[in-house]
Amino acid sequence: MRLYNLINNDELKRRMLEDAEARITLSFYKYHHIDNPQHFRDALFRDWSALGVFGRIYVAKEGINGQISVPAARFEDFRQQMYTVPFLEGIRLNIAIDDSGKSFYKLTIKMREKIVADGLDDQTFDVPRRGQHLSAVEYNTLTDDPDTIVVDMRNHYESEVGHFQNAICPDVETFREALPLVEAMLADKKDKNIVMYCTGGIRCEKASAYYLHKGFQRVFMVDGGIIEYTRQCQEQGLSNKFIGKNFVFDERLGERISEEVIAHCHQCGKPCDTHINCANDACHMLFIQCDECAEQYHNCCSQQCADFIQLPDQEREALRGQIEFNGSRFSKGHYKAFRRKKSADLLR
């Protein structure tokens, strides 16, 4: 059996969009020592391909981290198969809150050094000694205390569209950057209640252990992240302290948590929280765009890219690699420098 995909991505996306089969999007993770990650990876690919699973999964010696979609009709089969793996038995599956079922179009399982790139040397601190998990009820109670500090451990383009009330949202592009920055920001607050959160909880598992090692005394994390917190709020009728959208790393690029729109179109500035990737594949910049600007710029991040994608195929191919687009100049979400770029700049 082939243990990877060979079909063109555009064709796979087309099939996914046209498929009427109901699917369930979910995420999960587990820190656990895996003796033979390659063997484990290959076995997963065989088993989950047979069940029609799509998604992106990382496997490392330290564990597994996955975001996937499963055919609704095969969900129980998937769960039972997953739980036959001893260290995954009973693992929580974070079911998506706002799910179209169009989150992934193929199954990709990759080997990594770590399941989350954190830049830490795990030999220098006690990784299993982690912070205290908070349920939704416990989070709401603890954050009613004005002495509690809430920290978003995600990247700036994630927190831009949604975050917990009164949270500190570091201006970082990676989790690796956030760890030392947050430590420096809170250096004089090591005796305070520090509550961290992320999308599904995995980043906070490692961060909480690191901050306890660094001398922070009262470290907490939202159990299951934003996704599980929201689920508990819905089931228990609790006040939800998260505002806006939860950014997700799949084709949806976000799931609606509250009705507030706290972000703005990066081109015209009107309220908007819809992330897209620039339609110019030579750019592919991630940015926020409203419907009006999407029409004006043909789903592109600039007039330069809009003009480029309308060139004949042969001319585009000849120019590819010779032109600098926003996607090759700016990191995710740092957009102000290229707002409303004029077509006169094209091909300069």
Q: Tell me if 261 sits within 8 A of 272, measured CB to CB.
A: yes
Distance of CA 92 to the CA centre of its chain: 18
Strand partners, 162: 244
DSSP result, 36-66: -HHHHHHHHHHHHHHTT-EEEEEEETTEEEE
User: How far is it, in rounded angstroms, from Cα 244 to Cα 241?
Assistant: 10
Tell me whether residue 198 is one of the annotated catalytic residues: yes
191, burial (CB in 10 Å: exposed 0-12, middle 13-18, buried 19+): exposed
Q: First CA to last CA across the chain, in angstroms?
A: 49
Angle in degrees, CA 30, 33, 39, rounded to 5: 95
Structure tokens at 203: 């980043």
Handedness of CA 310, 250, 258, 201 (dihedral sign): negative
Select which of 198, 283, 293, 300 is catalytic.
198
- State the pairing for strand pair 94-95/23-31: antiparallel
Backbone φ and ψ of 57, nearest 5°: -130, 135
Concatenating the DSSP letter of every residue in 95-143 gives E-SS--S-S-SSEEEEE-SSSS-----GGGS-TT---EEE-HHHHHHHH
> Using an 8 Å Cβ cutoff, are 157 and 333 in contact?
yes
Kindly list the catalytic residues: 198
